[in-house]
A and B are shown apart, each in its own frame.
Chain A
Amino acid sequence: MIDLTKQSGFNLPGRHRAEKRFQWAGRSAIAISLLFLAIMVGTIFRDASGVFRQTQIAVQVDLSADPASVSYGRMVKAGLRGMFPDVTSRRDKKRLYNLVSSEGSFEVARMVTENPDLMGGTQTLWLTASDDLDLYVRGKVDTTLPERQRRISDAEIAWVGELQATGQLRRVINWGFLTGGDSREPELAGILSALVGSAYSLAVCFALSFPIGIGAAIYLEEFAPANRLSDLIEVNINNLAAVPSIVFGLLGLSIFLGYMGLPRSSPLVGGMVLALMTLPTIIIAARAALRAVPPSFKEAALALGASPVQAVFHHVFPVAMPGMLTGAIIGMAQALGETAPLLMIGMVAFIVDIPESILEPATALPVQIFLWADSPERAFTEKTAAAIIVLLIFLITMNLIAILLRRKLETRF
């Protein structure tokens, strides 16, 4: 009689131990990667938290003067002096003016254009506070340090206390970050110009690389004769996929800008360079997707008298489509995160305006992140983190669309 519950013989205990060991190794690998992911996302959100709201100061601005003779900047300064009449020294006045963002005059100008009724009297306007004041209000300034080592002086701290006591300071949701362009002042810098630049570039990139890549893949996989030239092309495509992206940037600089004279810093050229970079990825993925289609479909079509082109486009292509889309999205995700080639073609410029076409100068999300991370103002650290969140959301949205499309197109066989 054999006892199947007994674990001796066949080296069973050893095999079970090996199985357990492997399972635990796998689980801990997943746990470690999840931990790192959590740390990364956590840090980004912690750093970015300051961007979601911003501080505003209520300033009594006398708008009775003609803006042609008195600038809005002077009106704002006069308003600030009026709120703190005992400030007299030149140095203190300068500090006082620094409470409001140095581009506060533009804000006033915008408010007046939007609502001309404001002109002609004294108005209480909520103006964006400077980044240093914002940091202080949020408790990010170490007040135990000696005054000379802080960005905000004791006098300013006293004024802020006064403003808080009289309710002339408030914190509001910072929509400007999502609706504005870049700025030298961190409190006013927004992400929209970079977001639009990235969207335009990716649209150009997709419009070029998807049809070209899929076309090349179909020809190479289904029609190209098996000879040395085909082999050579295949080897080269595989190599191109591994070429550093900055090389494509150089190519774009010399050919698209230098030789063809296309507009510098434009999403058109950015998208073209990214398309060059993405093409090998798309071709390789599309060929793999085509190869995964059971050859029986093509055979059945050919045996019915379909021409090779009909057999491929009626039966192989639709089945391979979801796989090709996946490859394209991987390529697009890569392109979205690419900085180096865009630097080469000038998409690193300081762009305040939201680009309105693919021919206007623009920047891209990763380049904007790089620029902000490079800025000395402390408040830009938070902007950097917030920009990373926007980039991640962009990426996740793109992937979601791809998954939905794939679900819709998928055929089971």
Chain B
Amino acid sequence: MADPIVTARGVDIFYDTTQAIINVDLDILPNKVTALIGPSGCGKSTFLRAINRMNDLIPICRMTGEMKIAGQDIYDPKVDVVALRAQVGMVFQKPNPFPKSIFENVAYGLKIHKMTTSKTELQDRVEWSLKNAGLWDEVADRLDQPGNSLSGGQQQRLCIARAIAVKPRVILMDEPCSALDPIATAVVEELIDNLRKDYTIVIVTHSMQQAARISQRTAFFHLGTLVEFGDTKTIFTTPVDERTQNYITGRIG
């Protein structure tokens, strides 16, 4: 088995005095989709946001323990959070394209990181990103239209294109399909499965069917603790813990 790309050891996260994550150890394997599931308020989103330090934005949020990406402690004071986030992209629950054109949305990350040297290279990279996000055929002739003129599903794929444009190693997805209808969800799920070849994906989802469909590894959180973690098949067919059993059969949640 390949070395894990993200390793969490003894992670505790507090909001002021409330502890949201209690002593979590978790290894995320490269080129796999890892699903974080669990009832609302179990801390799975908090844990996800700790992987690219988005929790830094919340002043009362505090973390202890160790979070490493490719062997580097990301909470080391020497780590530049900008460099980290260029390596760990994120897709949010609600599609949030910038109020700019489709092209500008995808090009933004490339521009701020100065990843392209010429205009044609920038255009090629935007096209590549939109193709990989399965959106190119739908928007090729209207790249100058505002990003929010697209449908919800298209907007979410635009956000995925925006995230992959800077070629991160890990993409975090916080319930990316919760605002989408089943058809758009199916499209995004297929996209996630395709992206797995090149990226490592961590996805928080409320839908156990979705976790079962698209993930290879599943982590079940309950009340801030990691209850069970393993291959998705094992978790869904032969869960060890009673709480996992209850959750996936719909008795709690």
Contact = CB atoms under 8 A, between A and B. Distances in A.
Interface residues of B, number: 27
A294 B108 CA distance: 18
A233 interface: no
A91 interface: no
A119 B39 CA distance: 101
A296 B96 contact: yes
13 contacts: A296-B96, A297-B99, A300-B96, A303-B54, A304-B86, A304-B163, A304-B166, A305-B83, A305-B85, A306-B82, A307-B82, A310-B112, A315-B98
A299 B82 CA distance: 13
B99 A412 contact: yes
B148 A413 contact: yes
B153 interface: no
Contacts of A319: 99
B92 interface: yes
Interface string A304-319: 1111001000110011
A305 B54 contact: no
- The binding surface of chain A is classed by DSSP as helix
A43 interface: no
Interface in A306-341: 306-307, 310, 314-315, 318-319
A297 B82 contact: no
B148 A412 contact: yes
Contacts of A301: 98, 108
A315 B108 CA distance: 11
B86 A303 contact: no
A71 interface: no
Nearest to A311: B112
A299 B96 contact: yes
Which 10 A/B pairs are nearest by Cβ-Cβ distance? A296-B96, A305-B86, A303-B90, A411-B99, A305-B85, A304-B109, A413-B99, A300-B96, A305-B82, A306-B112
A413 B96 CA distance: 9
B226 to A, nearest CB: 24
A302 B99 contact: no
A300 B112 CA distance: 13
Looking at B97, B98, B163, B166, the one whose CB has the most chain A CB atoms below 10 A away is B98
B159 interface: yes
B89 A304 contact: yes
Interface of B: 52, 54, 57, 59, 82-86, 89-90, 92, 94, 96-99, 108-109, 112-113, 146, 148, 159, 162-163, 166
Nearest to A298: B57
A226 interface: yes
A28 B54 CA distance: 53
Interface of A: 226, 294, 296-297, 299-307, 310, 314-315, 318-319, 411-413
A305 B109 contact: yes
A309 to B, nearest CB: 11
Contacts of A315: 98-99
B100 to A, nearest CB: 8
B164 to A, nearest CB: 11
B52 A303 contact: yes
Contacts of A307: 82, 112
Nearest to B172: A303
Given A226-B59, A305-B113, A294 B96 contact: yes
A320 B164 CA distance: 28
A226 B84 CA distance: 25
A302 B162 contact: no
A304 B59 contact: no
Interface centre among A294, A297, A306, A307 (most CB of B within 10 A): A306
A60 B112 CA distance: 79
Contact of A305 (B94, B97, B98, B112): B112
A297 B84 CA distance: 19
Contacts of A413: 99, 148
A304 B96 contact: no
Contacts of A226: 59
Contacts of B94: 296
Contacts of A318: 99
Contact of B57 (A299, A300, A412): A299
B98 A300 contact: yes
